[in-house]
Every structure is written in structure tokens, then in C-alpha cells.
Amino acid sequence: MPKPSVLIVGAGALGIVTGYHLSLAGAGVHFLVRPNRLPALQEPQVLYCYDDHELKRFSEFKAHGSIDDAMSRGYDFVLITLDGATCRGTEGTALLKALGRALHDTRAIAVINGVGVREYCRDTMGLPDERVIEGTMGLLSYQTDRVTLPLNPPTDPARLAQASIGYRHMGKNPGFLVIKRLAAPARAFAKLYNRSGISKCQEINEKLFATFSSSIFVVMAMFDIAGWPHADGLARDTELMKLGSAAMKEVMRLPEHGLPGKIGSLFMSPRQIAKTNAKMERECLPVDYTAFNKFHHGGKVREQDMQVLQRCLHSGQAQDKAMPALTELLRRYEAAA
């Protein structure tokens, strides 16, 4: 049986950590990056794992600085790690078009990481619907030269200083999520990923994922508006908690989120949001959940998160739904920039 092969577009924290686990699973891993990123990928990548506080060396990969070079061989999967806002930008759109032309006559399945951007990527790439699936990383990962997080015990600062990437599985959460809207390719990717024996890929219902991800962005907006306090600090802002809870209900009840959204909205309250935030904070330790999210959602992907909520608002308005809480939350979110 030929060795499965994966091309990962982008070699940031998400790309490197996912590539590491796919390499452990026996896949041939290739990266497509900007030419100026190539020198950093000529050496093995060193990862600090907060799960066991050990260093992991990732060397079984090849890096390419152009699509022509990368496409000199075939792939089973092409994982696009660009966030939603980047995909829709000028440079991202041009890259997607070029990738689509290169993949057109192959059998490769595109795995889109950007939340709520699958259809845009599919249409821009010009690939058949059955060859484009959606997935996202389920663990925390970051480039250590981009942010310095608080050192909570039992973090080993000496080992962390040797790594370019830090990552952490959260509780029993999987390392990767893949949407099973297209069952066969989603199952094939999950089966490959799970061969790592270390990290797990979970197949998840499309509407459940859409409800979950949109709800997370409401919470990130709340933290952003409040100035990124810890969970207990946000919980004390009773007015903002009530506004966020109401906005979350409006988002979850959108028709596109189906029955999972309607059911989920029944259990949403300020108390439940506070309880969930506190649980996430505990399960992410020793990674500081607030500091990580301030870097990631408060900076790196803030535009993507905002665009997701804006699309939720526009969807509700297009269906003549009153969305007063989400409207006010977005107003404050945009003003907090």
C-alpha cells in the first residue's frame, strides 16, 4: 500500500503541530510556504508539549516555496491552514485559485481550516463539492517567538525556551475536528490522523460544529470587550454576561444551525457561560487560557472571528429576525479594536 501523502499550506503553529501528528501517523508530510519561510524549515522543528512537558522533534517533512515545486508529486489531502479572513483577502484568494488549478486533475481532498469559509474556498478553487471538506484544530498551539505566555507549573521553562512551537490538548478534547458533511473523505482523513496513536481526530456533525464555533466567537467577543480578564473576572460583569448570553441564543437559533442550535439555546445562560469558561480555564492549564486567547482571538484571528459574527447578524436580518443583542455586542466588539 502506498504511503499516504499530505500537503499542508502554511507552516504556522497549526500547520506544524498537525503535520507532526500526521507524520507520526505514517503520512508523508509536505509544506507549502512563502519562500522567506523556507530557511526556518530546513532544520527539524522542536515542539514543547504541555501534555507531558517533553520536547518533540519533527523532521520527517519536506518544504516547498512554490506551488509548482510542491505539486511535483500527488497528495491524498491538502490541508489549508489559512484563517477565514486571510482566505478572503487578495493574497489568499490568489493562492486558492492557483492551488485549485494545480489540484484540478488530481484526486486530492482539500481540508479547509478557516471557520465558515468552506464554500468560499471551494468556489474559488473551482473544485467539486465532494472534494472539499472542513476541519479545524481542537488543541491549543502557538509559535513561541510570537507570544510569551505566563509560566504556570509544572511548565519546564528551559525546555520551552528550546522550542519554536508550544501545544496542549485540552482535557479529553481531540487534536483535530473534521466535519462529516461528506462522510467518506472525512472518515478517511480521521482514520489517517488517528494512526498517530497520540492525538485523536473527531468527526462532528456539520450543524453542531457551526453552532459550537459561532458560540465560541460570541464568548471571545465578550472577553475582548472586557479587556481579556480571567473567567471569574468576566463572570462578575453581569451586564455583559447577560448581553453575551442573549446574543448567543440569537446566533444558535438561526435556521442554518438547525435542531442542535435550538436545543443548545435552551441551556444557554450567564451562569452556564461562566461555568464553561471556568472549566476551559482549568482544562487548559498549565497554558494560560486567557493569555492564549488574547494573543490568538484578540489579535491573530480577530478579523476572522468578527466576520463570522457579522455573517450571523446578516443572516438573521435577511430572515427578518430581530438580533438586538448581537447587534449591540458587535458594536462594542468593533469599538474595542
Question: What's residue 1's pLDDT?
Answer: 57
Question: What's residue 21's pLDDT?
Answer: 98
Residues whose CB is less than 8 angstroms from the CB of residue 38 and which lie 6 or more positions away in sequence, other chains included: 63, 65
Residues with pLDDT less than 50, the chain? none
Q: Are 318 and 255 in contact (CB under 8 A)?
A: no
C-alpha dihedral sign at 285, 201, 81, 3: positive
Question: What's residue 211's pLDDT?
Answer: 85
Q: Is the peptide bond before 2 cis (omega within 30 degrees of 0)?
A: no
N-term to C-term CA, the chain = 52
Question: What's residue 57's pLDDT?
Answer: 98
Question: What's residue 87's pLDDT?
Answer: 93
Question: What's residue 58's pLDDT?
Answer: 98
Separation of alpha carbons 291 and 288, rounded Å:
5
Domain assignments of the chain as residue spans, ordered by start: 5-204, 207-335
Cell 477565514 locates to 84
Separation of alpha carbons 96 and 134, rounded Å:
15
Separation of alpha carbons 302 and 230, rounded Å:
18
Question: What's residue 55's pLDDT?
Answer: 98
Return the CATH fold of 5-204. Rossmann fold (3.40.50)
Return the CATH fold of 207-335. N-(1-d-carboxylethyl)-l-norvaline Dehydrogenase; domain 2 (1.10.1040)
Q: Are 134 and 185 in contact (CB under 8 A)?
A: no
Separation of alpha carbons 66 and 55, rounded Å:
30
Separation of alpha carbons 15 and 333, rounded Å:
29
Half-sphere exposure of 50 (CA within 13 A, CB side): 26
